[in-house]
Amino acid sequence: MASRKFLTITAASTLLACLACTAVAQDKESVMKMREQTMKTMGGAMQATGKFVKNEGGTVDDVKAAAARLTEAASKDIASLFPAGSTGGESRAKPEIWTSWDVFAKQWADLKPAAAKLTEAAASGDRQQIAAAMGGVGKACGTCHDQFRAPKQ
Amino acid sequence: MGHRSLILAITLVPVALAASGPSAVAAETPPADAVRRGEYVFNAAGCLGCHTDEKGGGAPLAGGRGLATPFGTFHTPNITPDPTHGIGRWTEAQFVKAFREGEGPGGTHLFPAFPYASYTRMTDADLKDLRAYLMTRPASAQANRPHDLDPPFGWRFLLPVWKALYLDEGPLPDDPSKPAEWNRGRYLVEALGHCGECHTPRDWMGGMDQDRRFAGSSEGPEGDKIPNITPEPKAGIGGWSVGDIASFLEIGMTPDGDFVGSGMGEVIRNSTSKLTPEDRRAIAVYLKSVPAVK
């Protein structure tokens, strides 16, 4: 009798432990999905801006919309997009993110003023100014990827 | 304002126009246009990054950067015109020989971490201009640091074996059946840009695997993974247009708006962003023509 109760408890706690396990795993996965979405949104915005700058069919309104999307993405809380240890598997996030967190967070913060310049340039409608502002944002993206993202394979 | 100059305007690093003042050491004063051409060759060949310890705050071209490889860590030498610690005493013939044959003064065999397997393809004219430019750079008295290599890779006397296996000396003649743009692109990719030194996988002795040229590598310099840049549609960059490749080489943006980093960010910053739009296009045209490899 007693041993049966014991078994049930063991089984139940094992089950619970496992549930907690997948909950953690799912959490990590959803965080990584969310930041992939954020990054891809920014990529799409840069692509749209590039289309205008290179005269490949984009309009100033596309750039305005892109600048708004960039600004929104750059306002996201970096700590919630990159909680400690959220790497592994397909992720290209380097572990140095968490050992040099201040540098990483600063590089994220640098996106905002760069995006603001793009918003300003988009309002002016001047292609040259938009090109320069786009270069500034691209530099902010590339600086962080240079240091904190492993190359793709 | 045409689209070319606009793209130029977003170049992340402005091109340094004129070559600056004469050096303290260079014995002869080379003609100004040789120096100017040499600066372009210097940028296209990407000498600065490897020979400068940027992280450690080292002087440009004074060496000391550590290059981690599967064979151990190389410490790049000082290539400023300093007569004692740099290459100020090297004659033009000695300089050319280092690139053509991987051999320094006195018959020292050089390690192929100095990418002479690619630079051997450079023309004599470009090598002479390159030297003229280097001799105008400020001298630095920084002493060289020995390499830290695992045997047997640290043994210079084995290098002739390596050379016999992998070094195919001398420039490639132009292929008259191909357009001038393609030939220029091939020269920029194979000789100056030494793209294959990173993008082509290596065998256990560090030779480039010629059957898988540009197919990417799981162990590139500094342990980085390197992507496939052949025109293979899935594994490579078959989906990129010539224009996509050219603007990537200028500002580092991929067709989906992503910005590269890692080793390639430096290549773009120091090298391809400083080329003319025509040369970036030539690289793109040539890359689209290499065999697709999965």
Provide the residue ranges of all domains of chain B, joining segments of one domain with +: 32-166, 180-289
Q: B257 to chain A: which residues are within 8 Å by CB? A: 42-48, 50
CA angle B236, B238, B242 (to 5 degrees): 120
In the DSSP assignment, the letter for residue B115 is -
Nearest to A47 among B9, B218, B256 (CB): B256
Chain A residue with minimal CA distance to B262?
Answer: A146
Q: A115 to chain B: which residues are within 8 Å by CB? A: none
Check CB contact under 8 Å for B10 and A152.
no
Answer whether A38 touches B (CB < 8 Å).
no
Check CB contact under 8 Å for B6 and A142.
no
Check CB contact under 8 Å for A146 and B265.
yes
Nearest to A47 among B220, B257, B264 (CB): B257
Q: Alpha carbon A59 to chain centroid distance?
A: 26
Check CB contact under 8 Å for A54 and B216.
no
Residue A26 or B47, more confident = B47
> Whole-model pTM?
0.84
Please provide the average confidence, as pLDDT, over all residues in chain B. Answer: 88
Residue B91's pLDDT is 97
Q: Name the pLDDT band for A2 (thresholds 50, 70, 90).
A: very low
Residue A128's pLDDT is 92
For the segment B72-90, what is each residue's pLDDT rounded down to a tens digit? Answer: 899 999 999 999 999 999 9
**Quick one: what percent of chain B has pLDDT higher than 90?**
71
Angstrom CA distances, B2 to A28, A106, B16, B107, B280, stand at 47, 36, 22, 52, 17
CA dist B116 and B102 (Å) reads 6
Interface confidence, given as ipTM, is: 0.71
Mean pLDDT calculated for residue range B3-9: 40
Q: B9 to chain A: which residues are within 8 Å by CB? A: 128, 131-132, 135
Residue B266's pLDDT is 92
Q: Name the pLDDT band for A20 (thresholds 50, 70, 90).
A: very low
Q: Is A6 exposed, middle or buried (0-12, 13-18, 19+ CB in 10 A)?
A: exposed
| Contact yes or no for B89/B98 (Cβ under 8 A) | no
Answer whether A54 touches B (CB < 8 Å).
yes
Name the most confidently modeled range: A24-33, B114-123, B214-223: B114-123
**Coil, strand or helix: which one is B6?**
helix
For the segment A73-111, what is each residue's pLDDT rounded down to a tens digit? Answer: 999 999 999 999 888 888 999 999 999 999 999 999 999
Residue B15's pLDDT is 31
Answer whether A114 touches B (CB < 8 Å).
no
Q: Domains along chain A?
A: 31-148 (1.20.120.10)
Residue B10's pLDDT is 39
Pick the residue of B3, B258, B269 with the most A CBs within 10 A to test the interface with A by mutation.
Answer: B258
Token digits of residue A139: 């530099």
Residue B221's pLDDT is 67
Check CB contact under 8 Å for A55 and B255.
no
